Structure 1
Amino acid sequence: MYDIIAQINDLSVRSIDAAKKIPEQSTTHRIFCGSLQALALQLQDMSNVVWAVWRAPCPGLRTSVLPVTFRPASRDLRITPWRMYSTSRQSTLPTPNLLSQLFSRPSRPNTTPISVQPVSSTPRRFKRTSAASPKPKPKSDPEEVHPRQKPLSDAEIKAIFGPVKFNAKLGNRILAILHGHRLTGTLDADLPIDIARAITKQQFDIALEWLRNEYPVDEDAAIFARIEREDRAAEEKLVRRAEKLGLYKPQSGSYDAELGEEGSPYGKSVLKEARERNEKRLLAEQERKRQEWLDGEKEEHERLKREFGKNTSLQQYQEAALTEARPRADPIERPYLAWVQKHHIAATNESPESMNITNSQRLLAPLLFSIVVLALCYTFAQKYEFPARKDRIMPDVPPAVATVGAIVAANVAVTLLWKYVPPAWRLLNRYFVIVPFYPSSLGMIGSTFSHQTWRHLGTNMMVLGLMGTRVHDEIGRGNFLAIYFASGVMGSVFSLTRSVILGRLGMTSLGASAATSGIVAAWCMSHFNDKLTMWILPQGLQEQIWTYGWVFLTCLVGTEVFSLVAPAFLFRAWPLSRLTKMDHAAHLGGYVTGAGCGYTIMQKKKERERKARQSRWI
């Protein structure tokens, strides 16, 4: 850019030197100087970013009384390094007839000749409209700024202006407008028409002098601030024009774009802004849910009271339920406890009011499902064939250990879900526990794999480990699994039926005790007349302490029946108090099912032995 300007300067100097050699009053001299002036104006319009205004006095375009001087063109072709434009000036030119001919551009080159018109000897001021034209005057009616809060009285106005015809209201407005001009640095602007007609030049000076004495303001600083504002506005206009034309491409993408962190010209990161918006939205959503969670405690108490009042079968559990509804923890202060409480509430039935069903409806679906399970167990026992050694997954593990171990592992897994996985509570409450108020058919079989305490799990699995392997080796895997599942389902049926008949709809039941009871009963029936003793006793005591299988089974069933019919006060003392927490109806169902299956297996065994003896005799 600077090289181009230097070449233009050099061309201008050579052109002026050539003009000196032409007679001053000749027509050729006037045309040549006018052409130079037109060339300068056209060079000025060539750039939208830098305007170089060249004004060279020409003797042929001046009156005869003016001195003939030539000013170097480089003196007017100046550009400030830190500015994007140069200030345009007014030019003293003759009548515009010659300029109109000089500026006229033919549609085709060299088709329309230039006609020379007579030049007037009277100089004329002429303003050329361009992007770098003089800055417009500021608005003549700026915002009124009163020098003080309380308006001046009529006497004070007369003391300032003297005897005047206008009232105090107009006088205060005059002072407010003048003070506003002082603050904005626009004292050279025209006054509003009504004020210009109301006061004279002398009154204007008096008012301005009074304001300067009473309310001093740095008017020079205001003027400089105004100039800077106008310069910035003009510069911004020029740069935006250059940016629109593609001559200026800032690093930030657009002029006056918002800078990024630490003044980065690349602007703010869109991804970071999106992340910040999402974070704010998530925080607001989290706070809203937190308030809903804390405010829902009172609503939960009211809901429970309303449900207990409408349903008489739940009124006996009102106190316990309200006691369990502990104060809700703050998710910010105690996040883990609040998380557990949320899943605890979600795991309960949301609208027990909709469960207004009869006792027959509560029992029908579970009974039908239990019948289907019993049929499947019988079919499995009849059709199951033990796989060959090469087809087993763990051929080196005894079949009894593999079967019992798989059942134990399933029970342990469900217990871990109860203990340490609150999100699974909703699933477990629906399919792994018997709830008489709204029973689930799948819960009849799922409850046999469900334990909520390690003591309960350990007791049942110990019985299964001691007795299950023996029964498995004697009757086989098919019969063993059929007895286990059938006993568990029938125990659930006994427990559910008793709770519904007695109206204990809030009493839940779970555990594998019914299934293990069936395994024990089947073993007793398979050893109906055999002597049974405890393997932990010494060999000498085993010969003295023993009993028959049917006697041992009778004692177990008698204990369960006594626990069901005996008064509650008999079980207040320890350790009998623990019997009140057992589901004796489920145990009886397991014993009955296991005994029936064991008796059937024993009869088939005797029939096979009888046929074997007959075949040997024949």
Structure 2
Amino acid sequence: MSTFVGFSCLRSSSSLTGVLRFQGQITGARSSSTTLDWITGSARCFSLRATSRSHDIGRTALLTGHASIPLWRSPPARSQCQRRTLFGRKSQPVLTEYVHLPADYKDAEGLPFRKDADLDWPETNRIFPGMSSMTPDRAIRLLKILHGRRVAGTLDDPSLRVNTKMYSQLEIEKALKYLRREVPVDEILNAGLRAEDELRELEAGLTAKESDSAESPPTEAEGVDVEQQQKKEDTRSIYGDSILDKIREANIARAEAEAKAEAEQRKKEEEAAAQNWGGLTSYDHSLHRGLHPKQLEHYEAATSDLEAPPEIPRWRVLLPTTAFVATLLVSLYLMVNYVAPPRPGSTFEANATVGAILLLNVGMFIAWKRVRLWRYLNRHFILDFVTPRPHQILTAMLTHQDPRHLLKTMFALVVGGSLLIPEIGPAPFVATYIASGVCGFLATMYTHVARGMLVYMFGASSAGFGVICAYFWLYRFDGFKILGLPPDPMQGVQGLGFIGLLISFFALVPMVRRQGGNVDWTSHLVGMLTGIGCAALMEGQWKANKISHELEEKTKDTT
């Protein structure tokens, strides 16, 4: 009976050449106790020494076979046909051996685990069943990192876990199970080769250090304190820093650099967000001119003397404004249902109502040009998230930053007023306008205060979008033609289509593109939904008034 003893790693240096030379000699080493077969597939190479009971000297051979492969080794890969493409993207090779590890390998990037490294949703679900949070992009990144660690021999290195800390242990186990089934890699062999390389580099560093100290020994005559020099060296080990320590320090430095870059990027986003909210355009510094000394005095008087936000619980910041908005909405509801119910309005009423709101906004825009009023306007006509006053959520709708923003908001007001007031009357229109504006402000205030983003806010974009969506909701199934298009007999775009376009362009697109300080998509979206809700509440009375008005017209025609 033969007994297998010994285990050594196969290197790609001189030992690999010797094994290849010995390959031709092992064919004659067959005996009754040992059987040698040629290696097929992706079997691993390791040295085994065969000895008999009579202690005869055996020969080193390359052995294969399913019976001799341990459980921790990956099974042979399935045979695949070689595919070639013309004018296509060149596929990257799949590396499985440590000796082929590229010099620019990074653990955070990993290595390709197959020629076509793309995954689709069905394949991702097969690899990670029951994990809805695992997207194809996250799966590809995790598989690349783990495959790179298997090849580099760093699968169990705790210092590299920072690159996979966003994945759960179950996800990592599923990924390793898939890789070990589909991409066989001798993980223990690669880990052993890496350890040998690190030991060799450590020995070379110690030898160079000893030679340098022998060539120029420090002496007291040269003013070198030997004891202080020894204290400055690393005291963790008498042999100095190991390669693993250096790798760990490099990873820590890289993680700190990434964290610093993320913090800077987050700070830039917060600064951009603090410039402008409420559907406003970003602050244009070219519009700002130098202040006169007298103007500078008013500017300093209007500026808060707080050096840092006060330590106030978030619920105390949100509760007063929320209570004010709730009271305001209840008052508007009672006014619309009992004081001035919806009724068809005239063109004169529409023009008068829109003109009054327009004059208020233009007058406030002119007031902001007077520096003497800055202190008062800053206190009462800007919604401040640090120390908000409840009434600011209503008065901030009258404040605008520059003429372009004022024109955009007033255009939405004119369009919505000219369409909605003839249908429901001036009082319900004003109620819808105010409700859409304050609800949009309140939603943005909640999202930012909850995240600790203490900024300021003003504008009336959400109010304008709210009244426009309210009109199209009343005619949501009717077709609208623009300049006579589309021609008959087609009915045109339904009101729901216009609502979808407004929500897409002014809410969903900015949300997907992450336009932080440029467009307040939260206020826009909530303002549109509030306008639709107001229209739904008034729809019953509006239909009744419309039917009665049609009956009156028919009666007049018959008489």
Tell me which interval the TM-score lies in, with the shorter structure as reference length: 0.3 to 0.5
Please report the TM-score for the alignment, with normalisation by the length of structure 2: 0.44
Structure with the higher fraction of residues in helix conformation: 1
Which has the bigger relative contact order, CA under 8 A and spacing at least 6?
Answer: 2
